[in-house]
A and B are shown apart, each in its own frame.
Chain A
């Protein structure tokens, strides 16, 4: 089962003495809040309701855990998710039963797909009412099961502290993920003694940390013999805090490195070894090198369908694959690998570096030189070029200017669609945890709540949300939250009056039939921003882009909604069409 070691009791208020032992009697609600304090949680995001009233009452009575009130539960989970993504801490959300939970599902599923460590506390109807179709009842454990790493229903006040300890432990170790703790209302009123376990071990849950030394040895041999090597790094590098190790490795052996959408910032984009992002909208050089390499080192990546395209086509070129991942189930799931290494990415990379340094002779320099010549030729194709003379604002131009104005040092969140791809292509991320987006689930509407979570975690930082006029409307109500907490987020709205990515696919694959992808009757975003108490700006000339961005970012205390009226027909290139191979890109 599990072993528990307790921290010494320091507080003595509301205690009684039993024999020689001091025992504290706390309510379930008090225990929940004390657990959060013990975990060092400074912010939680939530929305109150009937089933969580006692919890909110306890939050009210203390000030260690600050509660951020959102306008919709989905945003609470997204904000807590971004808080986790940008800090490496566990994000915490609190919602009520029934609709509170169902509203939170999109947020939970989003975090699950991107392996984000989170604990979501949900209210539940009282235990005696469970199963009776009570008001605001839903089967939270059942409804969240497919989109959480694990979940719990607490049926006894005595189990709360241990369950919350387990939840944080499970969420933050191994391959991270969201954990739901469902707490019935009556449990929050029952009293018991409180002791927060200091550490915990579970017999059924023992994530691997160190990689197998023999496997790493095999990997080193392959890497040093490679003629056309390639490093492909994913979100695992960010989640595992292994950007420094990855950078050290690339510098040590001089191999080309590409990052996935989730891995951007894991290796500095401005370094010459970086080939940029790969995949469906990856760069020509990254995709070509990925297809033609003879030894591939995959680090914390999962050979996603948006990354390698058609696996059959991928395998037309023979190559040896080394795959480092903390999740054994990610290995050989879509692509058979030759040298699997299961372990914490950072630990494995450290050992890999150690063994390479100890090995006699480095990588094959001659072959590497030839390989780089080939790569530079591909890079010379300048696959991200676009019309810089256009009289209409090109969306790529806005991102380039955003990069320049923020000196490449902002936290950038994005929604989902064309703007997301342009942000990923044109904003050069040199640091991890600066690029916050929904990669796996592709959830429109995350951008604004993500920016809230990031700004809460980093109050002094520059935070911009790159969005589109369709995505932003999916969580637009959060402009009100931003006002309440004075969050000086800069919203960069690439407004092309279309669901751009849908329109692009319809143009390419559905005979230009723009079925339901045009958004008629858009709001006046400037007025909308003003109605929420913010600053709105509308920009429709290329010459005004940079001055507008400068002005917006100079307003350190204001949220500024920048509505850029962009080219309606611009497409994201390169593009690997669905079902096609990596080297079958559509280029500009």
Chain B
């Protein structure tokens, strides 16, 4: 099953490689991993999307907690949560396709952030499934380039991950 795990860790050199190393050494899956400092510059927050049986997810949680740099670990998928991913897509937009592409961007509540006479660069945020849906909805031949950040997640309401 797919799980989205949030990790608060010391913002130290090498902390990311400790997490990445743990996943590769123990053969766990990483679908995506994002990390950046928090409002407290001594801490980084990481969101890992992974998958595995309940036993494996339990081990992933425990092994993450065991890392000396890790302060807290929360499996967001255990409760209500929101996840968002940012995608930038460069698409071919010429002639009559230009208008059609703009309409699709509007439907998906995306924004066109760069324009030339031959292409658009589109910014789209949402759950990963929405980004997938957008890519499916447009003509595949029009896609020139895509870049995705991987998911970031946060608990709903009172579910707060903080030191």
Contact = CB atoms under 8 A, between A and B. Distances in A.
Interface of A: 1, 141-142, 145-146, 149-150, 153, 170, 202-205, 327-329, 331-333, 336
A503 B115 CA distance: 72
Nearest to B59: A333
Residue of A141, A145, A149, A204 with most chain B CB atoms under a 10 A cut-off: A204
B119 interface: no
B59 A204 contact: no
B129 interface: no
A394 B69 CA distance: 51
Contact of A142 (B17, B59, B163): B17
Nearest to A151: B14
A108 B126 CA distance: 46
A104 to B, nearest CB: 19
A141 B71 CA distance: 21
Interface residues of B, number: 21
Interface of B: 9-10, 13-14, 17-18, 21, 25, 42, 55, 58-59, 62-63, 65-66, 68-71, 163
A1 B163 CA distance: 10
A329 B58 CA distance: 9
A145 B21 CA distance: 8
B71 A203 contact: yes
B76 to A, nearest CB: 20
B68 A170 contact: yes
Nearest to A166: B68
B163 A203 contact: yes
B58 to A, nearest CB: 7
A417 to B, nearest CB: 27
Contact of A146 (B14, B21, B42, B68): B21
Contact of A149 (B9, B10, B68, B70): B68
Considering the complex of A and B, which 8 residue pairs feature the smallest CB-CB distances, nearest first? A329-B62, A150-B68, A204-B71, A328-B62, A205-B68, A329-B66, A146-B25, A329-B63
B55 A204 contact: no
A147 to B, nearest CB: 10
A140 B63 CA distance: 22
Contacts of A205: 68
A421 B10 CA distance: 43
Interface hub of B10, B13, B66 (most chain A Cβ within 10 A): B66
A205 B18 CA distance: 15
A335 to B, nearest CB: 11
A244 B62 CA distance: 30
A327 B59 CA distance: 12
Contacts of B59: 329, 333
A327 B70 CA distance: 15
Nearest to A328: B62
A333 B71 CA distance: 22
Most buried by A among B9, B14, B63, B163: B14
B96 to A, nearest CB: 53
B62 A204 contact: no
Nearest to B65: A328
Given A145-B14, A153-B14, A204-B68, 16 more contacts: A1-B10, A141-B14, A145-B17, A145-B21, A146-B21, A149-B68, A150-B69, A202-B68, A204-B71, A205-B68, A328-B62, A328-B65, A329-B59, A329-B62, A329-B65, A329-B66
Contact of B58 (A1, A145, A332): A332
B63 to A, nearest CB: 5
13 contacts: A1-B10, A145-B17, A145-B18, A149-B68, A150-B68, A153-B14, A202-B68, A203-B163, A204-B71, A329-B62, A332-B55, A332-B58, A336-B55
B70 A204 contact: yes
B156 to A, nearest CB: 26
Nearest to B24: A146
Contact of B66 (A145, A203, A327, A336): A327
B27 to A, nearest CB: 13
Contacts of B68: 149-150, 170, 202, 204-205
Contacts of A153: 13-14
B146 to A, nearest CB: 31
A187 B62 CA distance: 36
Contact of A1 (B21, B42, B62): B42
B136 to A, nearest CB: 40
B73 to A, nearest CB: 11
A332 B59 CA distance: 8
A286 B57 CA distance: 33
A328 B62 CA distance: 7
B116 to A, nearest CB: 39
Contacts of B65: 328-329
Contacts of A202: 68
A204 B18 contact: no
A204 to B, nearest CB: 4
A203 B66 CA distance: 13
B66 A204 contact: no
A327 B67 CA distance: 12
A469 B110 CA distance: 72
Nearest to B15: A204
B109 to A, nearest CB: 39
A84 to B, nearest CB: 19
Q: Which of B13, B42, B68 is the most central at the interface, judged by chain A CB atoms within 10 Å of its CB? A: B68
Contacts of A329: 59, 62-63, 65-66
Contacts of B25: 146
Contacts of A1: 10, 42
A141 B66 CA distance: 18
Nearest to B8: A204
Contacts of B163: 203
A155 B99 CA distance: 56
Contacts of A204: 9-10, 68-71
